[in-house]
Structure 1
Amino acid sequence: MTDFAPALLTDHYELTMVSAALRDGTASRRSVFEVFARRLPTGRRYGVVAGTGRLIDLIREFRFEPAQLEVLRSARIVDDETLAWLRDYRFTGDVDGYAEGELFFPGSPILTVSGTFAECVVLETLILSVLNHDSAIAAAAARMVTAARGRPIIEMGSRRTHELAAVASARAAYLAGFASTSNLAAGALYGIPTTGTSAHAFTLLHDDEATAFASQVAALGKNTTLLVDTYDIAQGIRNAIAVAGPDLRAIRIDSGDLSVLAQHSRELLDSLGATETKIIVSGDMDEYSIASLAAEPVDIYGAGTAVVTGSAAPTAGLVYKLVEVEGRPVVKRSENKATVGGRKTAVRRHKPTGTATEEIIVPQGVPDHLPNDRLLQQSFIAAGDVLPLPTLAEGREHLRQCLISIPWEGLKLSAGDPAIPVTIA
Structure 2
Amino acid sequence: MNTADLGLPVDVPSTALFTDHYELTMLQAALKAGTADRRSVFECFTRRLPEGRRYGVVAGTGRVLDAVENFRFDADVLGFLRERQVVNEETLEWLASYRFSGDVWGYPEGEVYFPGSPIIRVEGSFAECVLLETVILSILNHDSAIAAAASRMASAAGDRPLIEMGARRTHELAAVAASRAAYVGGFATTSDLAAGFRYGIPTVGTSAHAFTLLHDNERAAFQAQVDSLGRNTTLLVDTYDVTEAVRTAVEVAGPELGAVRIDSGDLLLVAHRVRQQLDELGAVNTKIIVTSDLDEYAIASLAAAPVDAYGVGTQLVTGSGHPTCSMVYKLVARAESADPKAPLVPVAKKSSGGKTSIGGRKWAARRLDGDGIAEAEVIGIGPVPAELADRQLLVELVKGGEVVAREPLDVVRDRHAAARANLPLSATQLSRGEAVIPTEYVQLRSGS
RMSD value, Cα: 1.0
User: Aligned residue for 1:83?
Assistant: 92
1:92 and 2:112 aligned: no
User: Aligned residue for 2:5?
Assistant: none
Shift, 1:193, TM fit: 0.4
- Report the number of matched residues: 424
User: Aligned residue for 2:3?
Assistant: none
> Within 2, Cα distance between the matches of 1:153 and 1:372?
37
Superposed CA deviations along residues 302-339 of structure 1, whole A, max 9, x for unmatched, are 00001100000000110000000010000100111111
- Using the size of structure 2 for normalisation, the TM-score is 0.93
- Counterpart of 1:221, as a letter, is G
> Within 2, Cα distance between the matches of 1:253 and 1:228?
6
Task: Report the secondary structure of 2:386's partner residue.
Answer: coil
User: Aligned residue for 1:48?
Assistant: 57
Shift, 1:372, TM fit: 9.0
User: Aligned residue for 2:265?
Assistant: 256
> Within 1, Cα distance between the matches of 2:104 and 2:265?
49
Shift, 1:150, TM fit: 1.2
Q: Give the conservation status (yes or no) of the 8 Å contact 1:175–1:395.
A: yes
1:370 and 2:380 aligned: no
Shift, 1:223, TM fit: 1.3
> Within 2, Cα distance between the matches of 1:92 and 1:211?
62
- Counterpart of 2:31, as a letter, is L
Task: Report the secondary structure of 1:311's partner residue.
Answer: helix
**Gap runs ≥5 in structure 2:** 1-7, 336-343, 443-448
> Within 2, Cα distance between the matches of 1:371 and 1:315?
31
1:152 and 2:161 aligned: yes
Q: Give the conservation status (yes or no) of the 8 Å contact 1:361–1:367.
A: no
- Counterpart of 1:411, as a letter, is T
Shift, 1:389, TM fit: 2.0
1:340 and 2:358 aligned: yes
1:134 and 2:143 aligned: yes
Output aligned runs, 1:147-296, within 5 Å: 147-296=156-305
> Within 1, Cα distance between the matches of 2:384 and 2:401?
27
Shift, 1:367, TM fit: 2.4
User: Aligned residue for 2:401?
Assistant: 384
1:394 and 2:411 aligned: yes
User: Aligned residue for 1:355?
Assistant: 373
> Within 1, Cα distance between the matches of 2:419 and 2:142?
21
Shift, 1:371, TM fit: 6.8
Task: Report the secondary structure of 1:307's partner residue.
Answer: helix
> Within 1, Cα distance between the matches of 2:391 and 2:384?
11
Q: Give the conservation status (yes or no) of the 8 Å contact 1:348–1:356.
A: yes
- Counterpart of 2:334, as a letter, is V
Superposed CA deviations along residues 278-316 of structure 1, whole A, max 9, x for unmatched, are 000001000000000000000000000011000000001
| Runs of 4+ in structure 1 over 3 Å off | none
Q: Among all aligned residue pairs of Structure 1 and Structure 2, give the percentage whose two residues are the same amino acid.
A: 58
Query: Which residue of 325, 330, 339 corresponds with 2:347?
Result: 330
> Within 2, Cα distance between the matches of 1:184 and 1:218?
23
Q: Give the conservation status (yes or no) of the 8 Å contact 1:349–1:372.
A: no
> Within 1, Cα distance between the matches of 2:383 and 2:82?
45
- Counterpart of 2:232, as a letter, is N
Shift, 1:394, TM fit: 0.8
> Within 1, Cα distance between the matches of 2:168 and 2:420?
29
> Within 2, Cα distance between the matches of 1:405 and 1:186?
29
> Within 2, Cα distance between the matches of 1:158 and 1:372?
43
Q: Give the conservation status (yes or no) of the 8 Å contact 1:94–1:383.
A: yes
Superposed CA deviations along residues 319-361 of structure 1, whole A, max 9, x for unmatched, are 0000000100001001111110001000011124221111110
| 163-172 or 3-12: bigger deviation | 3-12
> Within 2, Cα distance between the matches of 1:27 and 1:170?
38
- Counterpart of 1:173, as a letter, is A
User: Aligned residue for 1:317?
Assistant: 326
Question: Alpha carbons of 1:343 and 1:57: their partners in 2 closer, same or farther (altered >3 Å)?
Answer: same
> Within 2, Cα distance between the matches of 1:240 and 1:150?
26
| 407-416 or 63-72: bigger deviation | 407-416
Superposed CA deviations along residues 382-423 of structure 1, whole A, max 9, x for unmatched, are 111110323211111111001110000111111112011110
**Gap runs ≥5 in structure 1:** none
